[in-house]
Chains A and B, each alone.
Chain A
Amino acid sequence: MALQDKYKELLDAASSSGVANLQAREQDGVLYVDGDAPSGAVKDQLWDIYGKIDPDFRAGDLILNVNVTGAIDGGKLKVVTESTNLNIRKGPGTDQPIAGKAAHDEIVTLVSKANDQWWLIRTDGGAEGYAYAQYLQPV
């Protein structure tokens, strides 16, 4: 339970900010926190708290897997890269050729989710392919 105490602020914030299906389990010296965040802001807030408790994420004792849900097929997604374009690829993997690009902050359409990491998207310009899900957020 020691890790639950260490990351108590984070767990409290997660439950009070409406993270659904929140799970926190400690196993072999690592705390695994999973859940569905209601918004990108909530996810960012949790990562800020994580970074405060464990500066530069050096301890290796937390796997914080809280992601924004609510992305549905046909729904709109925003490209949340730092500043660069997002590659759209022919298949789910960085080894796949690039089929097009979506700009930073561009709104695209989710066609379907190939898996947790790669989503098939379509831009308003007509480019269709797989993009990395961590750079996409439902709007």
Chain B
Amino acid sequence: MKKQILNRLLLLFTILIPVMFTSCGPKDADIKANVEKAIQADPMASMGTLTVDVMNGVATIGGECKDGECKAKREEIAKGVKGVKSVVNNSTVMAPPPPPVQAPVTISADEPLSKNVTDAIKDHPGVEASVKDGVVTLTGEIKRADLPKLMQKLSALKPKKIENKLTIK
């Protein structure tokens, strides 16, 4: 009888011991899921690609992060997840995007510019214009309401600069 009870107890322990050990903290797979979830929930940290591996509570983060701030944020988030003992941050930072290609500024030569300026001011009696080294200098007078249209016409001619010395009525 005693032996039977002893046997049963022994059986109980053999079942309980592994359960007790594993229940000390969350499983690696759960930690991994939680780290992924926490990082994905953060708009900054989630930018780019992400890989997470957890082994014995050590979380290794990889993938490509948008910038250094994003990389640091991932590490901070992972450290805050329950069960994470330490974090190895292998995230790489993306190269910054190349600056947009800007076409060089085109400035008209004085010869076509002068002729085009003459055409542009033709409908604005009272306005005089001179052109030198691409700079259009306006003198004379204009009504305020007509000024934007004149400026639009002149700006389309690709001058270097428009010096507005007009008297506005």
Chain A contacts to B: CB under 8 angstroms: 23-25, 27-28, 30, 32, 34, 43, 47, 51, 56-58, 60, 63-65, 67, 82, 84, 93-94, 116-117, 132-134
Contacts known (A47-B148, A82-B146, A134-B152); A93 close to B119, Cβ less than 8 A: yes
Q: Which residues of B are found within 8 Å of A116, using beta-carbon distances?
A: 156
Contacts known (A47-B152, A134-B153); A23 close to B102, Cβ less than 8 A: yes
A117 CA to B105 CA, complexed, in Å: 19
Closest CB-CB distance, B110 to chain A, in whole Å? 16
Verify if B58 is at the interface (C-beta below 8 Å from A). no
Q: Are A117 and B147 in contact (CB under 8 A)?
A: no
Q: Are B164 and A63 in contact (CB under 8 A)?
A: no
Q: Are B164 and A56 in contact (CB under 8 A)?
A: yes
11 A-B Cβ contacts within 8 A? A23-B103, A24-B102, A56-B168, A60-B161, A67-B156, A82-B145, A116-B156, A117-B116, A117-B156, A134-B149, A134-B152
Name the interface residues of B99-149: CB closer than 8 Å to any CB of A: 102-105, 115-116, 118-120, 122-123, 144-149
Q: Which residues of A are found within 8 Å of B160, using beta-carbon distances?
A: 28, 30
Chain B contacts to A: CB under 8 angstroms: 102-105, 115-116, 118-120, 122-123, 144-149, 151-153, 155-164, 168
A63 CA to B115 CA, complexed, in Å: 19
Closest CB-CB distance, B48 to chain A, in whole Å? 25
Q: Which of A24, A56, A63, A64 contacts B161 (CB 8 A)?
A: A63
Q: Which residues of A are found within 8 Å of B118, using beta-carbon distances?
A: 94
Q: Which residues of A are found within 8 Å of B115, using beta-carbon distances?
A: 93
Q: Which residues of A are found within 8 Å of B158, using beta-carbon distances?
A: 63, 65
Q: Which of B104, B119, B161 contacts A132 (CB 8 A)?
A: B119
Q: Are A64 and B103 in contact (CB under 8 A)?
A: no
Q: Are B161 and A30 in contact (CB under 8 A)?
A: yes
Q: Are B155 and A64 in contact (CB under 8 A)?
A: yes
Q: Are B162 and A63 in contact (CB under 8 A)?
A: yes
Q: Which of A51, A56, A60, A94 contacts B119 (CB 8 A)?
A: A94
A27 CA to B159 CA, complexed, in Å: 13
Q: Which residues of B are found within 8 Å of A67, using beta-carbon distances?
A: 156
Q: Are B105 and A32 in contact (CB under 8 A)?
A: yes
Contacts known (A65-B155, A94-B119); A82 close to B149, Cβ less than 8 A: yes
